[in-house]
């Protein structure tokens, strides 16, 4: 990797940051798994950093940074998803990208078939894909990424979820993301218009419908276009956490990058501050919803 500015420097001391609630504590856990910008020195890619950064959910953690003031625990990865993706399962690896045999059976998903599994193999831009590596990765280096980045992230998130369930009898979880504005071009549907926000609950399976529609209706009241589960439904994290029958509600929020970010420079646009302010209203509504709902929870 080339010399990097400070905010892109590796953070081996802190691959995961946990921001605890300030004041009031609610059973509300939010996480940003893809906004990390600390690029590890052993990445070993063959693409320019500017292109590699297109995989970031840039500034998502900053958009939602006030969540702890509303009683939420906020968790963020400092490492980039292109290095290893916390929103994939541990065995979601393409064996063909390795220089040796993985010690246990692998279960590559559709995302891996698209080159976007646990270890990304390509980066997309305007319907074109570019390989990230000009080499096979060693089994040892992938295992190191899992041990030092993926597992610590999942451990901190699981700890926060478990603490909320143990203390309150349930939890509300929001998985925070952004999406490239050209996603429908990538999907071969260039005539479709991408909404400002896409909310996902894996087709109604990971949270109470009232939870996801509270967020959607709040955003619509401020003039934003909102879609549900199209084209993003949520992947590993909300699929693992969301069990509404056990009072564990999980949803995903995707923000169209064009409404707050220059996708080439990764710098915030003039609308960033307004969006950040609007999301404060979403946070207030969610916090009040959780306060109301937690009164109905069975105490553990």
User: In this predicted model, what pLDDT tens digit does every residue of 184-235 receive, in sequence order?
Assistant: 988 889 999 999 999 999 999 999 999 999 999 999 999 999 999 999 999 9
* Calpha distance 238→251 (Å, rounded): 6
pLDDT in the model for residue 1: 46
The pLDDT tens digits for 135-159 are 999 999 999 999 999 999 999 999 9
In the three-class reduction of DSSP (H, G, I as helix; E, B as strand; rest coil), residue 278 is classed as helix
Measured in degrees and rounded to the nearest 5, phi and psi for residue 211 equal -70, -50
pLDDT in the model for residue 2: 47
Is pLDDT above 70 for 5? no
**With helix as H, strand as E and coil as C, how does 30-90 read?**
EEECCCCCCCCCCCCCCCCHHHHHHHCCCCHHHHCCCHHHHCCEEEEECCCCCCCCCCCCC
User: 36 near 77, Cβ under 8 Å?
Assistant: yes
As a whole-number percent, the residues of the chain with pLDDT over 70 amount to 95
The pLDDT tens digits for 88-132 are 999 999 999 999 999 999 999 999 999 999 999 999 887 789 999
Sequence ranges of the domains in the chain: 6-87+134-294
The CATH number of 6-87+134-294, from 3.40.630.40, 1.10.3720.10, 3.30.420.10, 2.40.10.10, is 3.40.630.40
As a whole-number percent, the residues of the chain with pLDDT over 90 amount to 90
Tokens 């959910």 -> residue: 57
* Calpha distance 201→251 (Å, rounded): 5
The pLDDT tens digits for 12-48 are 679 999 999 998 999 999 999 999 999 999 999 999 9
Question: What own/partner pairs with CB < 8 Å and gap ≥ 24 does 19-25 have?
Answer: 19/65, 19/67, 19/68, 19/73, 19/74, 19/75, 19/76, 20/68, 20/73, 21/68, 21/71, 21/72, 21/73, 22/68, 22/69, 22/71, 23/69, 23/71, 24/71, 25/71
Tokens 């399962």 -> residue: 89
* Calpha distance 83→45 (Å, rounded): 9
pTM for the predicted model, two decimal places: 0.94
């Amino acid at each position: 990797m080339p010399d990097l500015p400070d905010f892109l420097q590796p953070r081996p001391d802190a691959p995961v940051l946990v921001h605890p609630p300030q004041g009031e504590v609610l059973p509300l856990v939010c996480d940003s798994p893809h906004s990390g910008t600390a690029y590890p020195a052993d990445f070993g890619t063959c693409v320019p950093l500017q292109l590699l950064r297109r995989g970031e959910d840039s500034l998502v953690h900053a958009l939602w940074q006030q969540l702890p003031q509303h009683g939420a625990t906020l968790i963020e990865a400092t490492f980039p998803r292109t290095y290893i993706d916390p929103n994939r399962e541990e065995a979601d690896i393409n064996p063909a990208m390795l220089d040796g045999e993985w010690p246990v059976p692998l279960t590559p998903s559709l995302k891996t078939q698209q080159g976007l599994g646990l270890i990304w193999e390509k980066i997309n831009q305007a319907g074109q894909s570019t390989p990230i590596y000009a080499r096979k990765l060693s089994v040892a280096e992938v295992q190191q990424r899992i041990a030092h980045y993926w597992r610590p992230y999942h451990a901190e998130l699981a700890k926060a979820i478990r603490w909320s369930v143990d203390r309150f009898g349930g939890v509300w979880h929001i998985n925070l993301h952004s999406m490239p504005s050209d996603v429908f071009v990538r999907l071969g549907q260039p005539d479709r218009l991408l909404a400002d926000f896409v909310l996902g609950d894996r087709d109604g399976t990971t949270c109470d419908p009232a939870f996801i529609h509270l967020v959607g209706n709040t955003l619509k009241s401020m003039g934003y276009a909102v879609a549900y589960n199209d084209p993003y439904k949520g992947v590993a994290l909300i699929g693992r956490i969301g069990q509404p029958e056990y009072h564990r509600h999980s949803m995903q929020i995707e923000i169209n990058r064009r409404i707050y970010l220059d996708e080439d420079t990764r710098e915030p646009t003039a609308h960033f501050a307004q969006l950040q302010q609007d999301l404060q209203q979403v946070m207030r509504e969610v916090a009040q919803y959780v306060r109301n709902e937690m009164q109905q929870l069975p105490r553990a």
